[in-house]
Structure 1
C-alpha cells in the first residue's frame, strides 16, 4: 500500500496535540497545519468532515535527502493527515519509501525507509 493509516480512540484536537509532541521528540517539526475543512467552508463548500494536513520536516534529514538528489525535494515536506471517518479519528501518511521508489535511487530509498519507520513510530505513539 502507498500509505500507512491507523485508527485512534480520541478526538481530533487531542490526537493532533499528541502527534505534534511525538514528532518533536523524534526531531520533526510541524511547518504548517492546514484545516482542509475550514478552507473549503471558507470558500463556500459544504465539507463537514474534519480533515487536517500537517506538513512535517526534520531539517537534518531534509538536508541529507536534498544532498543526494534535488528532485527528491518534490516530496518534501512529509505530510501526515488527521481526519474523522464515520466518527473514528484516523492518522495517516503517504509512505516516503513509496514516493522515493519512483526515483530508482538506492541511497535515497534507504533514507526514506528510515524516515518512514520514524514517522510510523510517531503515529503509533498516538494509539
Structure 2
C-alpha cells in the first residue's frame, strides 16, 4: 500500500492553494490552518527558501464519526495536504488516510478512511485541473 498521494502542476503555489480551498469546501472540508513552513523556518533563522505550505483540513462530520469509533485516530487529525515547489513544479500531496488508519489496527474504520481519501483526492485533482 502506498503511503501518499502526490500530483504535480505547473500552476504556482498561491493559485493552487486558493483552488484547493474552494475544491475542499465543495467536498465538505474546511481549511483549519494554512501554515507557511518556509516563512516560519526563515523567521527562526533557517536558510530554507523552497516555498512550502501545509494545509490542515477537516470535515467535522467525518471527524466526529471516526472519533466516536476510536479516539486513537485523533492522532491523525486533522488531515494534512502539502503544497510545495520541487524542480520548477508545484507538488500537491497528502498522506493517505487509508495508510494512516492501518496504524490504528481497527478494520471497522477502513470504510470511513477510504471515503475521506477518495474525497480529498477528488479535491486535489479538481484544484489542479486547470492545467491544460
Moved over 3 A (4+): none
The residue aligned with 2:34 is 33
1:33-65 C-alpha deviation (Å, 9 max, x unpaired): 001100000000000000000000000000001
The residue aligned with 1:24 is 25
**How far apart are residue 106 of structure 1 and its match?**
1.6
* Ranges in structure 1 where 5+ consecutive residues have no aligned partner: none
Cα distance in 1 between the residues matched to 2:115 and 2:57: 15
* Ranges in structure 2 where 5+ consecutive residues have no aligned partner: none
2:65 partner SS = helix
**How far apart are residue 6 of structure 1 and its match?**
0.1
The residue aligned with 2:58 is 57
The residue aligned with 2:5 is 4
Cα distance in 2 between the residues matched to 1:104 and 1:70: 13
Cα distance in 2 between the residues matched to 1:15 and 1:68: 34
Cα distance in 2 between the residues matched to 1:81 and 1:47: 16
The residue aligned with 1:80 is 81
The residue aligned with 2:47 is 46
Q: Which moved more, 1:51-60 or 1:102-111?
A: 102-111
The residue aligned with 2:107 is 106
- Residue 100 (structure 2) pairs with residue 89 (structure 1): no
1:27 partner SS = coil
2:93 partner SS = strand
TM (normalized to structure 2)? 0.94
1:91 partner SS = strand
TM (normalized to structure 1)? 0.98
